[in-house]
């Protein structure tokens, strides 16, 4: 009798859950696959990492420009067209990040990436000056130093025949760039690949990526019972300890130098590449200094955002260049025209600004391979966007990857054509969102473009690139990555 009641109760709960899901789907004016009891469409998302983007593409082909899915009891709307996306990213009230970003909160806390509301607005305001060009141009020597180390590492396999997996090499260079630019010190990741810090970043990013792709591991109860929780906790302990140590060291340096305000820190900050950390240490909110914990959150946030995205951007741009000899020749000719006196010297800030074709190449690569292929927003109150009625507590996923491949905006969208981004070309401004748009656009996009130009300029001038037969299998979490590596062939240039 008791067993019968238990079974009956379980069946009743399942039926009620299914009824609620079906009712929610029926009363939504956005099409999507039929949800199953309890899990909704969760089983559809249990795919290999390399199949995730293909899954979204199948949804797009079957249901159109806006698609509804349910993961367990949570409602998601996936958007593929700028007419809907514009209303989301430019909306002054739709600024709360979606559930996927919560998987990073144990590491990043409530930094600029994960916070919302008044806290996000105040932090965005006082952090923006840290990315002024007067400060950014002082990071250029750091970028060139690390580009040379990267170039030396690439040279060891640059025989024209060896398939070189450039992604992990560029990841270490990008990490050196961001640690020295943001923290004011380098962990020498390119020379110390086994460092605990480098390993910890890889581990915590991998766990977050798994939770974004697997709706079951995403559930907090399941995750806490899994081995992944311990891996994450151990890695985060390492990362937090490093950041706190850097903060303590820099705070003591400022104290000894008797620097107590931003005005007094200008010279010391710029000369010693501490501008971002100094800003946090010396800034005030409502007349009070910022706590070390809040500083730690923002430093860790920019550590994450500043190295993963540029790694992806630089790597896929090199991949595209290797497959298009005509583009590579045009790039090299542009470099020769700028460096007519000495092809091998470092570029100045002004000369980097002259690299117009290189910038077109970067933008076209980011169109086909956006570093951040998906972004997510949480709807905090019922709204209507371009005719779509979005209910409170709905997560909206903006599919940048497939949107930037729409033939409506890009003729022959799978062709690599940098000329699409010549200044005379006019198109929907929301059809290219490599750095997002609206109030939550990427605060560090100028930093990223500058770093990408330095790295790519140095490699283009020193190497010829050739395509590999090994094609990347794409996977997506917060960042677009090659699951099986990203390979090119290189050969030192012979300058006549």
Task: Give the helix/strand (H/E) hosting 125.
Answer: helix 117-127
pLDDT for 178 equals 92
pLDDT at 23: 58
Does residue 216 belong to any structural domain of this protein?
yes
What is the share, in percent, of the chain residues with pLDDT greater than 70?
91
Compare 150 and 123 and report the one with higher pLDDT.
150
Average pLDDT over residues 319-346: 96
Does some domain include residue 391? yes
What are the start-end ranges of the E strands in 139-195? 164-165
Q: What is the pLDDT of residue 428?
A: 92
pLDDT per position as a tens digit, 353-370: 999 999 999 999 999 999
Greater confidence (484 vs 34) lies with: 484
Does residue 268 surpass a pLDDT of 50? no
Question: Which residue did the predictor score with more confidence, 358 or 209?
Answer: 358
Please report whether residue 172 resides in a domain: yes
Structure tokens at 421: 């981004």
Q: What is the 3-state secondary structure (H, E, C) of 17-35?
A: HHHHHHHHHHCCCCCCCCC
Residues in contact with 404: Cβ distance below 8 Å, sequence separation at least 6, in sequence order:
367, 368, 370, 410, 413, 431, 432, 433, 434
Distance CA 20, CA 488 (A): 51
Lowest mean pLDDT among 239-253, 429-443, 457-471: 239-253
Q: How confident is the model at residue 426 (pLDDT cuts 50, 70, 90)?
A: confident
What is the structure's pLDDT at 135?
84
If DSSP codes are grouped into helix, strand and coil, which group holds residue 420? helix
The pLDDT assigned to 25 comes to 58
**What is the total count of domains within the chain?**
1
Whether 293 is covered by a domain: the verdict is yes
Taking only the tens place, the pLDDT of each residue in 20-71 is 555 565 666 889 998 888 788 888 998 899 999 999 999 999 999 999 998 8
Q: Using the predicted structure, report yes or no on whether residue 19 has a pLDDT greater than 80.
A: no
The model's confidence at residue 284, banded by pLDDT at 50, 70 and 90, is: low
More confidently predicted of 5 and 348 = 348
The closest of 95, 93, 59 to 78, measured between CA atoms, is 59
**264 or 492, higher pLDDT:** 492
Instruction: Give the model's pLDDT for residue 374.
Output: 95
Residue range 59-102, pLDDT digits in tens: 999 999 999 998 888 899 999 999 999 999 999 889 999 888 89
What average pLDDT score do residues 377-392 get? 92
Give the range of the structural domain holding residue 291, as residue numbers without chain letter.
73-492
Predicted pLDDT at 274:
54
Binding-site annotation: residue ranges: 442
Classified as helix, coil or strand, 386 is coil
How far is residue 239's CA from residue 260's CA, in Å, rounded to a whole number? 27
pLDDT of 401 strictly over 90: yes
**Do the Cβ atoms of 98 and 396 come closer than 8 Å?**
yes
Q: Which residue has the higher pLDDT, 104 or 314?
A: 314
d(CA 332, CA 398): 36
What's the pLDDT score for residue 68?
Answer: 92
Q: Hey, what are 241's tokens?
A: 């300890």
- pLDDT, residue 388, reads 92
Q: What percent of the chain has pLDDT over 90?
A: 61
- Rounded to a whole number of angstroms, the distance between the first and last alpha carbons of the chain is 91
The whole-chain average pLDDT of the chain stands at 89
pLDDT at position 358 is 99
- The pLDDT value recorded for residue 269 is 44
Residue 281 lies inside a defined structural domain of this protein: yes
CATH of the domain at 297: 1.10.630.10
Which residues make Cβ contacts (< 8 Å) with residue 481, sequence separation at least 6?
Answer: 167, 209, 312, 474, 475
Residue 24 lies in a domain: no
Could you tell me which residues are annotated as the binding site for heme? 442
Task: Confirm whether 416 is domain-assigned.
Answer: yes
Contact 408, 428 (CB under 8 A): no
Question: How far apart, in whole angstroms, are the C-alpha atoms of residue 413 and residue 404?
Answer: 8
Residue 380 backbone dihedrals phi, psi, to 5 degrees: -95, -10
Task: Report pLDDT for 311.
Answer: 96
Has residue 372 been placed in a domain?
A: yes
Lowest mean pLDDT among 62-71, 207-216, 450-459: 207-216
pLDDT of residue 270: 43
71 backbone dihedrals φ, ψ, rounded to 5°: -110, 105
């Amino acid at each position: 009798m008791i067993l019968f009641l238990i079974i009956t109760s379980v069946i009743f709960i399942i039926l009620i859950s299914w009824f609620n899901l079906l009712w929610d789907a029926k009363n939504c004016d956005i099409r999507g696959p039929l949800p199953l009891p309890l899990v909704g469409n969760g089983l559809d998302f249990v795919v290999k990492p390399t199949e995730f983007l293909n899954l979204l593409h199948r949804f797009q082909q079957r249901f159109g420009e806006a698609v509804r899915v349910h993961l367990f009891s949570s409602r998601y709307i996936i958007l593929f067209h700028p007419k809907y996306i514009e209303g989301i990213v430019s909306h002054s009230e739709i600024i709360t990040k979606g559930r996927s970003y919560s998987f990073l909160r144990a590491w990043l806390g409530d930094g600029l990436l994960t916070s919302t509301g008044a806290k996000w607005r105040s932090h965005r305001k006082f952090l923006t000056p840290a990315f002024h060009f007067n400060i950014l141009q002082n990071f250029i020597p750091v970028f060139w130093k690390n580009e040379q180390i990267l170039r030396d590492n690439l040279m060891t396999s640059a025989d024209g025949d060896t398939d070189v997996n450039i992604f992990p090499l560029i990841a270490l260079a990008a990490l050196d760039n961001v640690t020295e630019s943001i923290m004011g010190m380098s962990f020498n990741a390119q020379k110390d690949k086994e460092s605990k810090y480098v390993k910890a970043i890889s581990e915590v990013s991998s766990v977050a990526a798994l939770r974004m792709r697997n709706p079951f591991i995403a559930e907090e109860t399941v995750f806490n019972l899994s081995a992944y929780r311990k891996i994450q906790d151990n890695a985060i302990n390492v990362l937090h300890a490093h950041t706190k140590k850097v903060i303590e060291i820099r705070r003591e340096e400022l104290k000894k130098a008797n620097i107590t305000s931003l005005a007094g820190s200008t010279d010391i900050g710029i000369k010693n590449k501490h501008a971002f950390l100094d800003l946090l240490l010396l800034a005030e909110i409502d007349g009070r200094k910022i706590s070390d914990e809040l500083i730690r959150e923002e430093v860790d946030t920019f550590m994450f955002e500043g190295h993963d995205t540029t790694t992806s951007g630089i790597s896929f741009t090199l991949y595209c260049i290797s497959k298009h000899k005509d583009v590579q020749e045009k790039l090299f000719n542009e470099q020769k025209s700028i460096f007519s006196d000495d092809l091998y010297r470092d570029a100045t800030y002004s000369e980097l600004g002259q690299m117009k074709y290189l910038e077109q190449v970067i933008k076209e690569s980011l169109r086909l391979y956006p570093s951040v292929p998906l972004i997510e927003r949480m709807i905090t109150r019922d709204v209507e966007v371009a005719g779509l009625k979005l209910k409170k507590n709905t997560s909206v996923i903006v599919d940048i990857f497939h949107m930037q491949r729409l033939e409506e905006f890009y003729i022959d969208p799978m062709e690599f054509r940098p000329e699409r981004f010549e200044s005379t070309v006019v198109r929907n401004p929301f059809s290219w969102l490599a750095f997002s748009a609206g109030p939550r656009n990427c605060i560090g996009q100028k930093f990223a473009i500058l770093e990408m130009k330095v790295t790519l300029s140095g490699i283009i001038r020193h190497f010829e690139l050739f395509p590999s037969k090994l094609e990347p299998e794409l996977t997506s979490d917060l960042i677009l990555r090659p699951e099986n590596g990203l390979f090119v062939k290189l050969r030192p240039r012979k300058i006549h």
